[in-house]
Amino acid sequence: MAGFQQPFWMTMEETTIDYTQHFRVGMRVGIDIPLTSGQVFREWGIIVEMDQDFFQIRLSRDVLPEEMRIEIGTIFLLVTGKEGTGLCCRGIVVGENNRRLIPLRLISEVLVYERRDFYRIGTYLPMAFQICRGMTGREIRERWQETRLFRIWQWSELNEAVPMMKPLTPDQRARFESSRDDLRVKFQPLAVNISGGGIRLKLPQSCSPGDQITLQFFIPFAKPNTLDVVGEVVWSTPVLTSPGGNPLHYVGMRFNRIDERDRECIIRFISLEQLQQIQQQKGKLNGTHLEETEMSGREVTALRRQRLIVTIIVTVVLAGLALWLAPILIDYYGHRSERNEIERTFEKGVEKYRKGSDRYAE
């Protein structure tokens, strides 16, 4: 995935970024889609529709991997140009799709692209770190192996149902007993950008490429739940701070020494964090907004205009019909009242005549 210079999860708020400076209809774009394994599937497609931050992209292939699901809420990366000179931007699927035509909205800034092998996410992670100053590569490796063995032994002591695969020697057990306090970790939550292959975090001191840093992560579902990793610094850059503030540095590193089981735990943690962030984003969308996000801005405007025109036409027709019927009804009921008066006079005359006839007969 891309090496972003800032945490890149975002909410579904309105954006003022002019994406037309970087994308256009008919442009071919690369697409990095995260898989359940933590790696990415690299596909490409064509932009067939574009309206501000709303895109429709037609994928290049008909058949996609089974483990890759493109559904509402799926987040992936759009890439243009070549690595090092290209640009990238994150998008989220906002409507139903047929696995070839994908409706999405862009949700991040357009940044310089650097391809990576694992999906990355920005989050807060309880962790600790120590820069390995004045240590040889062999000393760092042996210390990492010793620390990992201590974590496994400590976990097996706390969980008797999970015995160690290889028992400790008496010397190892005595050494771990005496250094239990020294190997205890004090975690603190840090804002990190992490993947299965590396991490970026903010440190109070500068580092040089090639420096080694020991890292401890707290992952609740891991066994043991403290993961020990050695990172090798790849780049470091100062952070802009207020005058008089303590200097800080962004440090990006790759995992130089890591057990593959620990890597799988990190990948699983990233997947769970991504799912939680997506659910939070969906919770901010009410039903009306979700319906409108499935259409482009042009379609929504046209639909509103059409509804307004229909309302005006119906109102004019009803008003004309009322004006046409009003005089007819007035005339009808007016004459009906007049005929009723004549009928009553006639009936009175007939009744008077009958009474006169009756007296004559008597």
Domain containing residue 29: CATH number: 2.30.110.70
Residue 26 belongs to domain spanning: 19-112
Summarize pLDDT for 116-140 with one digit per residue, the tens: 556 678 888 899 998 988 889 899 9
Judge if 169 and 196 occupy the same domain: yes
Judge if 125 and 108 occupy the same domain: no
Judge if 161 and 67 occupy the same domain: no
pLDDT for the residue numbered 230: 94
Average pLDDT of the residues in 317-343: 71
Judge if 107 and 133 occupy the same domain: no
Is 47 contained in some domain?
A: yes
Judge if 139 and 262 occupy the same domain: yes
Is 301 contained in some domain?
A: no
Residue type, 292: E
The chain-wide mean pLDDT, for the chain, equals 76
Judge if 162 and 240 occupy the same domain: yes
Pair 31, 88: CB distance under 8 Å = no
CA angle 52, 58, 62 (to 5 degrees): 160
Confidence at 333, pLDDT banded by 50, 70, 90: low
Pair 120, 1: CB distance under 8 Å = yes
Judge if 137 and 77 occupy the same domain: no
Is 6 contained in some domain?
A: no
- Supply the pTM of this predicted model: 0.48
Task: Round the CA-based radius of gyration of the chain to a whole number and report it.
Answer: 38
Is 299 contained in some domain?
A: no
The last residue of one of the domains, among 255, 280, 305, is: 280
Pairing outcome for strands 121-131 and 101-106: unpaired
